Structure 1
Amino acid sequence: MQNHAHDLLGREEVQHLLDNLAKIAPKLVEGLVPDTVPLGTVQKVLQNLLQENIPIRDIRTISEAIAEQAARNPDPEAITAATRMALAHSIVQHINGTQPDLPIITLDPELEQILLKTLQASGEGGASLEPGLAENMHKNLQDVAQRQEMSGEAAILVVQAGLRGWISRFIRHAIPGLHVLSYNEIPDDKQIRIVANVGR
């Protein structure tokens, strides 16, 4: 059920969430749909969050982030990224509980640069990632994620914001236990502990 929550969230369900929010924050909802964004965009952002197992209970914070970002950039992916930043505390708590520090996996800077250049050259699809590189990266991430899970800790990969969405899609089905965050989604008051660095 949880894995398919994003598929089950239709326009009616989104409207129902907004109707409930309107009871406590009428002005926010009034100015949001359709004045700032169409209902379909709100639905897409909520689906994006659910697809990465992010709870959408805090619909007020989500709606405020959508309204703020949509005024600058109406693209659902950009709005989703801004909404994730607004939800940073609850995302980290959802993944890592109340642990004082956050165990993170990082990518080697050289690998990050290669991925960023590849993405810029081929667009969000990242279609031209060299097969050998993709395979190695995939295997290395899988190994590290398994080690983390066996040690009883969350497997969290932290990457540059420009790579987060693509990497998340790249590993979503094959390494479902690996959470992908961007550096700007880590709350300032959270101590990080690097547990692994993945290279080429």
Structure 2
Amino acid sequence: MGFVLEVTGDFACFTRPEMKVERVSYDVITPSAARAVFESILWKPAIAWRIHKIEVLKPIRWVNIRRNEVGAVLPVTNITRAMAGGAAPALYVEDNRQQRAGLFLRDVAYRLHGSFELTAKAGSTDNAAKFADMFSRRARKGQCFNQPYLGTREFSCEFRLIEEIENEPSPISESRPLGWMLYDLDFSGPKNPQPLFFNAELNSGVIHVPDRGSEEVRG
């Protein structure tokens, strides 16, 4: 069973992994970021979300923003010692502050088409109808386990369940190749995680997302 969500936000950043220092966004939302929006509404070990289509509802616009970031992380050993009763770990922001430029998207709106499938962790009482009802009920009420965001957590977004798509506006008319785009991360191999990519193309405002097992998805 498929579902459609409309998501909107003031800013978005779906970071290109080839950009090592500065934050530069892809032109549109990635399938992995779209999946995360569905998971923020309903996530269970028994289901796995898949994105099938992305519709771009507003023209692609950019903005340059310079922002402060923390350039360090707490060592795992510090956390382990604190859990064992040691001193609480601390990271002083003023000593690790870095200012970086970013090329972000602004005033974005997407229509996301997704569905879920049962996983090997589904129990004997789990079935697709139960989870479909749970998702629909939560999405209609605007409920979520965590606030969905557009690429980075500071760029939160609003969402709306679309049940009668024929009454919704058409996507933008723009068509062009978008190049290789991050599809998702693969956690199944010995080296985790491994990024997966696909050659995305915008056709009259629509990106058709291939299945994970398709030859179009490459590691």
Flag whether TM exceeds 0.5 (same fold).
Answer: no
Query: Which structure: larger Rg?
Result: 2
Query: Per residue, is there more strand in 1 or in 2?
Result: 2
Higher relative contact order (CA 8 A, sep 6+): 2
Query: Per residue, is there more helix in 1 or in 2?
Result: 1
* TM-score, length basis structure 2: 0.20
